[in-house]
């Protein structure tokens, strides 16, 4: 089934690699105009080049998503360049691992507050039929002893999505979450673990019933569905994309 996003405008907060870039590519291939941001300019420009010529217009801007004012500027600029916003994807993560001030600060500042701020900045541009998608994690569905801040904040995103969905339903704006499992891509957390922490990598791999790590494109396909008219009656939901990993 081919989903068309012709005429739609996508904004991905955190879209220069991995899941964010895969989502941007999927929407561009479906005909959408897309905007992405990231903190690092080199990776951002490489991603921008990868998106050009796929669909509609492409916009890319450097943005530190831990900076509230920068988030508001980026979303406003993306809306101006694209002529509006139909889909907002909040994908960035500070990935706070340690149960200390630094770990909690990283997860709250990026995973949670960047999501809240980008949503607030996008709201004036979202018309009936628009949608917001938060990228959470299966770590938000169960205890996360190895990464307490990350798990707790991803759980907060799931709750926030339900609250937003209820508040925005009268406006015809849908809000959903995707909870990926272990997704491997070059330069990502699991690529690093495979090379530098094989015990963790192999243990995690054995815990996935489907027998492999996931791919960013598999998360992107679900995002495309959730933003499409096929999901017009879906809001306030969290979909795990994990090959059954959370079932164990």
Active site amino acids: 136-137, 150, 154
- Residue 53, judged by CB atoms within 10 A of its CB (0-12, 13-18, 19+), counts as exposed
Token pair of 30 as six digits: 């479906």
Element (H, E) at 238: strand 238-241
Residue holding tokens 């994908």?
Answer: 91
Residues 60 and 36 sit within 8 Å (Cβ to Cβ):
yes
Neighbours of 113 (CB within 10 A): 18
Beta bridge mates, 61: 37
User: Using alpha carbons only, how large is the chain's radius of gyration in Å?
Assistant: 17
**What's the gap between Cα 71 and its chain centre?**
15
- What residues contact residue 150 under an 8 Å CB cut-off, 6+ apart? 93, 95, 96, 97, 103, 107, 111, 137, 139, 144
Token pair of 96 as six digits: 């706070």
210 three-state secondary structure: coil
Beta bridge mates, 166: none
């Amino acid at each position: 089934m081919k989903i068309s996003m012709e005429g739609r405008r996508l904004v991905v907060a955190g879209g220069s690699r991995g899941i964010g870039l895969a989502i941007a590519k999927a929407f561009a291939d479906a005909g959408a105009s897309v905007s992405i941001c990231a903190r690092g300019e080199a990776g951002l420009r490489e991603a921008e080049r990868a998106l050009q010529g796929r669909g509609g217009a492409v916009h890319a801007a450097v943005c530190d998503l831990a900076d509230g004012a920068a988030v508001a500027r980026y979303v406003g600029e993306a809306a101006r360049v694209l002529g509006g916003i139909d889909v907002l994807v909040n994908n960035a993560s500070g990935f706070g691992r340690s149960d200390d001030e630094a770990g909690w600060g990283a997860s709250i500042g990026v995973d949670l507050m960047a999501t809240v701020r980008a949503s607030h900045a996008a709201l004036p541009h979202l018309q009936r039929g628009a949608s917001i998608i938060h990228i959470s994690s299966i770590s938000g569905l169960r205890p996360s002893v190895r990464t307490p801040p990350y798990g707790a904040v991803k759980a907060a995103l799931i709750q926030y999505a339900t609250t937003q969905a209820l508040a925005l339903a009268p406006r015809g704006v849908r809000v959903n979450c995707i909870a990926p499992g272990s997704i491997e891509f070059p330069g990502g957390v699991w690529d690093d673990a495979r090379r530098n922490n094989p015990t963790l990598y192999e243990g995690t791999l054995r815990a996935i019933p489907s027998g492999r790590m996931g791919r960013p494109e598999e998360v992107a396909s679900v995002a495309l569905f959730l933003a499409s008219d096929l999901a017009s009656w879906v809001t306030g939901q969290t979909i795990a994309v994990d090959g059954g990993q959370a079932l164990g």
